[in-house]
Amino acid sequence: MSSERATLRTTLFSDELQTVSVALAAPSAEEQISEIVLHPAIEHLGAIAGGVLLVSAAGDRLDLVARQGYEDGAQTIWQDGPIDARTPATDALRTREALFFEHVDALKAAYPDLERQTGAVSPVASAVLPFVFDGHTLGVLVLDFHEPHAFTPAEKQFLRTLAAQSAVALERASLHARLLGEQQQKVEILESISDAFYAVDFDWRFTYINRRTEYIWGRKREELLGKVYWNEFPQAVGSEPYHAHFEAMRERRVVRLEAMSPIVGMWVDITIYPTQGGVSVYFKDISERKRIEARLYELNRVLERRVEERTRDLQDLNAELRAYAMGISRDLAEPMRRVHGFVGLLERRLADQVDDRVQALFAQVRDEARRVEGRMDELRQLALLERRELREELIALDQLVVQVRSDLESLLKGRKVKWLLGTLPTVMGDALLLRQVLAELLAFALDATREVETALIEVDGETRGGQVVAWVRHNGAALSAQEAQQLFEVFGTPQAESSGTVRIGLANARRIVSRHGGQLWAQSASDGAGGVLFLALPDKIGAPATDS
């Protein structure tokens, strides 16, 4: 069971890292980067809360810039403070190593004075991940848990990769901010000090040169006025700026370009305006901006390369785990068939010697064997899911729900079930796979209401915010927040609400929806009676959104 859960979690980690890398690709502010990283870290490790602390510009403090999951105004051990204090966050920065405290005694043993210093109660378990880029520490990511948490190797690798992605994004954001600051400073300077400027007539003779041009070229205006441009600077003949000058002169239009100056060997921004007497030219040095752009490009390449490496490693691991799952399913198939055969043989040989109690035990063995075989089939489906190519087509969800309800007739025998079917939107997707998703959702709703005298199951949906959202509401057992979060994990279905056949099925459903670019989630009904399962898919048809 642990290997199957590891297979799914590793796949989810790989997908989430890819999603985070896309979100971090564009330059963002430090607060935005922190929010992008916090959500998947908290969600996929089952943490109750988390935060991001960053090193101040002066390098002498840690400042809490983002947090999620804590109550407003709640005091925690993660606080602003001097960087030389002894706390888990500052120690992680000093050692440049992740810290994992799997129970509260471990944290208190390492930092006995922490609660007194902060005035806050220590969490049961915590993780502290430093952001390190090229040997420089930028901050930490912290996660808190309300119960002991044994961090698996896959979870640690996921958090370390997330921290590495965050460090690259934070460094890029800092560099981008410096770039914007430098650009703004240049704008302010150019407002008070003119660009380099010169003018030539139709014969390319200099008619005016300002002091800035003198400085850049290293030539006095007296040496150049009245002289032919290309005679004084023959190295410019045939260059990109040379052709741009002739284009502006010939076509009588403004020409702007960024090019390496053949005269002084630096990057310049050149704007050439046609005038009545020839052309006027403004230019300025942009070498520093080009250097920063090249650095940003290199940082992007570093981030992409690291993501590709991590993704490739996780894909290799996924392939091995899928092969392992297939092998287990295949190797156990024959022994389970033998169990069926041996039970049948014993029943026939002992038919006249056993009482009803023994017969019931035989039946129980057969049921358990069938249940194990069902689990093996679902495990095999989970392993094969990645290999199946999506075959997208237009699907009327309301018709698909009717078909699925008909398939589940065997679960309705001896029960009172009232169905409320709304008008569901049409989506683009793989009909066979989405039918499996709806079957799992409806089967779960039926299981959750099996103790209710008259089960009420509502299926409805709408298009909103660029998504098609459908939901299955039931009046059965309600879900806690933790149960709702674990519902779609392998073997994560709450025991009280499952007949034992939908645990891997719901995990399969979540993976199918993820491949469609959508989401599955669950929550208790607003009135506290029953629960709701939600399915969201991208609106690829472009139907008008409805108000909700």
What per-residue confidence (pLDDT) applies to 330? 64
Residue 338 has pLDDT above 80, yes or no: no
What per-residue confidence (pLDDT) applies to 173? 84
What per-residue confidence (pLDDT) applies to 387? 59
**Inter-axis angle of helices 503-515 and 2-23, nearest 10:** 20
CA distance 532 to 522: 6
CATH of domain 393-538: 3.30.565.10
CA distance 477 to 451: 9
| pLDDT category of residue 375 using cuts at 50, 70 and 90 | low
pLDDT tens-place string over residues 2-28: 555 555 556 666 777 787 777 777 656
What per-residue confidence (pLDDT) applies to 202? 96
Domain 1-180 CATH (choose: 3.30.450.40, 1.50.40.10, 3.30.230.10, 3.10.200.10): 3.30.450.40
What per-residue confidence (pLDDT) applies to 358? 74
What per-residue confidence (pLDDT) applies to 382? 58
DSSP lists the bridge partners of residue 141 as 52, 129
193-289 has CATH 3.30.450.20 classification: yes
Q: Where are the beta strands (DSSP E) in 124-266?
A: 125-133, 136-145, 196-201, 206-209, 255-260
Longest dimension (CA), the chain: 125
| pLDDT category of residue 41 using cuts at 50, 70 and 90 | confident
Residue 495 has pLDDT above 50, yes or no: no
Residue 90 has pLDDT above 70, yes or no: yes
DSSP state of 526: T
Radius of gyration of the chain (CA): 33
| pLDDT category of residue 191 using cuts at 50, 70 and 90 | very low
What per-residue confidence (pLDDT) applies to 546? 45
Residue 199 has pLDDT above 50, yes or no: yes
pLDDT tens-place string over residues 412-450: 888 899 999 998 999 999 888 898 899 889 988 998 898
- Give me the DSSP letters along 447-470: HHTTTSSEEEEEEEEEEETTEEEE
Whether the Cβ atoms of residue 33 and residue 177 lie closer than 8 Å to each other: no
Sheet containing 416-421: which strands, arranged edge to edge? Answer: 416-421, 454-464, 467-474, 531-538, 519-524
| pLDDT category of residue 192 using cuts at 50, 70 and 90 | very low
| % of the chain beyond a pLDDT of 70 | 83
| pLDDT category of residue 529 using cuts at 50, 70 and 90 | confident
- Chain position carrying tokens 């702007």: 256
- Give me the DSSP letters along 155-194: HHHHHHHHHHHHHHHHHHHHHHHHHHHHHHHHHHHHHHSP
Whether the Cβ atoms of residue 41 and residue 164 lie closer than 8 Å to each other: no
What per-residue confidence (pLDDT) applies to 11? 62
Question: Looking at this protein, which amino acid is placed at residue 103?
Answer: H
CA distance 455 to 531: 12
Residue 273 has pLDDT above 60, yes or no: yes
